[in-house]
Structures are given as C-alpha cells and as structure tokens.
Amino acid sequence: MYTVPSVLRAQSVQGVTNAAQDADSSIDPAVKAKFDTFMKGVLTPDKENNVNEEELFAGLIQERIYSLKGQEVGDQFKAVFDKNKAQCMGQNGYCFTEKAARDSLVEFQSSGKLTLDEANKIHSEAFEAAQLDDNKTALFDGHGGPNDPTMAVAQMEAALLAAQTMLQKISSGAVAAPNHAITAEYPALGTIALRTDITQLGGTGGDPKIGSKVKSEITPRRYKIDGNEGMLWKPFAEHTGKLIMMLPPTYTGQVQSITLRNSETGHKLDAGRYFSVGAGPTGREKWIFKKPGDKYPDDVTVQIKFRDGNMQTMHIAKPGKRYD
C-alpha cells in the first residue's frame, strides 16, 4: 500500500464506493475495447471477478508503458515485472504487487529504457487511475475482513471503466496532471495511523503480566491482537503437540519471519515456520515451532518481522500458557 508522503488519512469505507461513478460514456468503443483487452490479459481477478487497487496499479503501469513506448519496450518491462513479482513471492504465495510494480519501474528507468520524466508520468497516471474508493491518497489490496479499511476492490468491468475514464480526463486536461514521483519513499504497507500504544493480551490461561509488556511498533494497519481473530499463542497444537501461533487476518501475506528470543539476553530460541493459511479473505496464517510452549524459558520476546521491514515485538511471560 502506497500512502502519499506527509498525508495521513484513514479510509472511511471498505471496498468500492462507486468505482465508475464518474465514468465518461464518451470513450470511443474501439479505444475502450483495446484497453479492456490489454488489461484483462494482465489482471487476474478473484473468484467474484473483483480486482484490487494494487493489482490495477501494476496492470496500468504496464498499459502505460506499452502505450507510450510500444510493443518491444512493453515486453521488456513485462519481463522485468514478472521477474520481480516471482522474487517477491513468499512461501505463502503472497506478493506485494504494488511494490513489485514500482520496483520494476525504478529498475527499468535506471537501465535507460525510460527517462525519469517518462517513469514519473507513468507512475503518476497509474496511481491516479487505480483509485477505486474514497481514499485517493493510498492504494489498497483485497485482503482483509468485514470493515477492513485497507481493502479496495471492484468488479473488473467497473474498475477498468473508472481507470480509463481517469486516464482520459488526465489526457484531455480535465484533471490536472498528477505528480507522484517514483524517487519518493513509499512504505510497502504505508501509514494509516501511528500506533505506539500498549495492547493487552489476555484470554484463557493468560498471564496478567503480559498486558504491560506487549508493544506494537508497527504503523501500517490497525492490527488487532486480542479477542476473536486476534493473536493466538497456543503452546500445544493438536496435530503436532508443539507451539503454534495463529495471526490476525490482517497479517496474512505480510509476515516474513517470527523469531523467539530470551527477553533478558536476546539469545535466539527458535524461528517459526509458516504452516498454513485459512481459506477466504479472512484466512489466518499459522506458524509452528520446534517445541511445545512449556519447553521454552519464561519471559520470551516474540519478534514478528513484516515484509516491508517493520517489526512488531511482544512479550510472553509464561510460554506454557495460552494467550489469545
């Protein structure tokens, strides 16, 4: 998710509010058909035929390059993008499509295939045209549960019509040319609201001590780590008899690693291994460890590293107890 620098704005609604609300019916049918054919060739909608802003952004960057530079250069960029997208795939099969697309554009420009002005123009137009919701300062994916403010999806046809309408308005001068430079800093998950609060963990068998030790150091999403669908520390999994952690659904696809450390010495005790993820948009990841929870010493620090480089830490006072 890209958030415009210096702008912190929470999204007010989930998903699309009327992606094609301002669509221009004057788009030439032949031009529309060509655009739709290209975009449908590079986008992969979900089973409900929805696409999200990040995927649309990546597709639009490709479309802009083909339109500006022609087939040969377009094919060269596609090869770069396909490479970067494959490299960013984690073991759970998730990739930050927005980041892969932007990194590819930067790489392509640095190789001399595009001027910096061309790359900035392509990036800016793709960002503006990929907007599907009321938050025009960010790009969101399609992962999350009900009322998740970091989702933005639309039916394929509506999304393409809205995107092409915006491109036409920019081209005609009806909308001022956007300016989102590729050289600016774009956090992979953006910043919705700065969280420096202490978050309580309790639940069955929970230790009261934990409430004063859990600090959220990440900023991008409104992570929930207590109650239903929150963070679960389960010392004895039924299928293995070993420690398992279940993560909130908003973490799905975001986590790079989970490390357990001795809180006093910082010594590494174990590293989690991604195990599975539940079905559907609210699917939760499970990470498993080598031992039962009670085989780890008291006062464990859990380090959750996210794919954008952010880190979350929490303290587990009694690893043999369940926290949720």
pLDDT tens digits, 193-226: 222 222 323 322 333 333 333 333 333 333 334 4
pLDDT band at 302 (very low <50, low <70, confident <90, very high): very high
Question: What CA–CA distance (Å, rounded) separates 219 from 244?
Answer: 25
The stretch 233-240 carries a mean pLDDT of 79
User: Can you give the pTM of this predicted structure?
Assistant: 0.58
Which H, E and C letters describe the chain, residue by residue? CCECCCCCCCCCCCCCCCCCCCCCCCCCHHHHHHHHHHHHHHCCCCCCCEEEHHHHHHHHHHHHHHHHHCHHHHHHHHHHHHHHHHHHCCCCCCCCHHHHHHHHHHHHHHCCCCCHHHHHHHHHHHHHHCCCCCCCCECCECCCCCCCCCECEEEHHHHHHHHHHHHHHHHHCCCCCCCCCCCCCCCCCCCCCCCCCECCCCCCCCCHHHHHCCECCCCCCCCCCCCCCCCEEECCCCCCCCCEEECCHHHCCCEEEEEEEECCCCCEEEECEEEEECCCCCCCEEEECCCCHHHCCCCEEEEEEECCCCEEEEEECCCCCCEC
Question: What CA–CA distance (Å, rounded) separates 205 from 17?
Answer: 43
pLDDT tens digits, 149-199: 567 899 999 999 999 999 999 999 999 999 988 876 554 333 222 222 223
Instruction: Report whether pLDDT(240) > 60.
Output: yes
pLDDT tens digits, 21-51: 455 557 889 999 999 999 999 999 988 999 9
More confident residue, 126 or 255: 126
Domain extent listing, the chain = 29-172, 208-316
Is it true that domain 208-316 has CATH number 1.10.3470? no
More confident residue, 90 or 240: 240
Instruction: Report whether pLDDT(19) > 50.
Output: no
Average pLDDT of every residue of the chain = 76
pLDDT band at 248 (very low <50, low <70, confident <90, very high): confident
- The reported pLDDT for the residue numbered 176 is 92
pLDDT tens digits, 94-114: 567 888 899 899 999 999 999
